[in-house]
Each structure stands twice: as C-alpha cells, then as structure tokens.
Amino acid sequence: MSGAILILSGPSGAGKSTIIQRSAPHIGPFYFSISTTTRPPRPGERDGVDYYFVDVESFERDIAAGEFLEYAKVHGNYYGTSLRPVREALEEGKLVIFDIDVQGHRLAREKMGEIITSAFITPPSLAELKRRLTERSTDDEEAIRRRLQNAKEEIEALEEYDYLIVNDDLERATEEFIALARTSRLKPSRAERVRFRERWLERE
C-alpha cells in the first residue's frame, strides 16, 4: 500500500504543532510537510525546519511552473506546499501530514482527494483563542485582530472536514489525533481498491 495524506487546519493558536509533537512517537512513519512562505522568519524559526523562506518572485515563479500541491495568500503573504517531497514520502508508504488553511485544503482535495483525510483543530471558543493568542505574545494587537477575523471565516468551512478535534484538553486532543492518524492509513485510493479486487478475483 502507498502512503496517505492527513490534512490539519484550524486557527493559529489551536495547538496543532503541539499535538503533532506529542503524537509523533505513536503514529508510525510520517513526513510533516514543510510549507514554503514569503513571510519573514519569526524569532527562533529556521529555514528548512519551520518553513522554507523565499521571496515573492521565487514563489510566483514556482506557481507558474506548477510546483505546488496547494498555495494561498494569507495576511498578505504566500504559503504553499511543494509537490516533490510529498510524492517521495507517499512512495515510501509514509503518512504525509499537512498543516494548511481552508483554501489549501480545498485545492489539495481537488488534486489528491482519494487519499486525503482531514481534521479541523480548534480551541473550544473564539474567546479562548483570543486568550491564547494574547498570552503567547508573538503578535501585536493588529496581527491578533487579523488572526481572529481569519478564524471566524475559517470556522465557516468546518463541514468540509472529515473530523473535528476540539483542543480543550491537550491530552484528550492528542489521543484523538493519534487515533485519526492511524485510521487515515487505512484509506485506500481508488486505484488500490481496483488492484486489490483484480488480485482477489485471480485467486478463484
């Protein structure tokens, strides 16, 4: 069987990165897709680890060349997922995990929907999200306002996702994510189902 894709979306501050880190020892071989972005690095972020940081001209050149599985412009900056490492990981049978926004989820569904499972991860309320964004002190007031507005818009797409994880209790949210990661590996593509049926009939 080839690999599978698990897409995670949700507002900044939902705890997606923390949940993935806590789950890593329990979900088998996986590749966490590193996005490419045109926004400047935040303090402590490293190129090739947190993101691939590029300029606008390079990003738009790769768009024209069809090098992205998905891309979107968020808060004035481009974010996208390069296709090459995703294909390599899938061929190796790995679970490919994406942390992308609603627009990216839609584009990825159009291209590779057969092997995609998706989940929306969110705090229990908008008020709790605002508290978390304020307390982590990485954004100014205007950036927090934009993130909250974006969260209001993204929650409207909740029904487009297969699963919902409410990160109210981190331990429970991690357990739910581990179960979801394991389940997503069981989703065969249409081509895999056809091949299995053909092999099954050959054994008559």
- pTM here? 0.81
Task: Please return the burial class of 94, using the count of CB atoms within 10 Å of its CB with bins 0-12, 13-18 and 19+.
Answer: buried
pLDDT in tens, 8-53: 999 988 999 999 999 999 999 999 998 899 999 988 999 988 899 9
What 3-state class would DSSP assign to 121?
strand
Pair of tokens at residue 29: 């071989």
Q: In this predicted model, what pLDDT tens digit does every residue of 92-104 receive, in sequence order?
A: 989 999 998 898 8
Task: Identify the CA nearest to 184 among candidates 14, 55, 51, 6.
Answer: 6
Domains and CATH numbers, the chain: 4-33+95-202 (3.40.50.300)
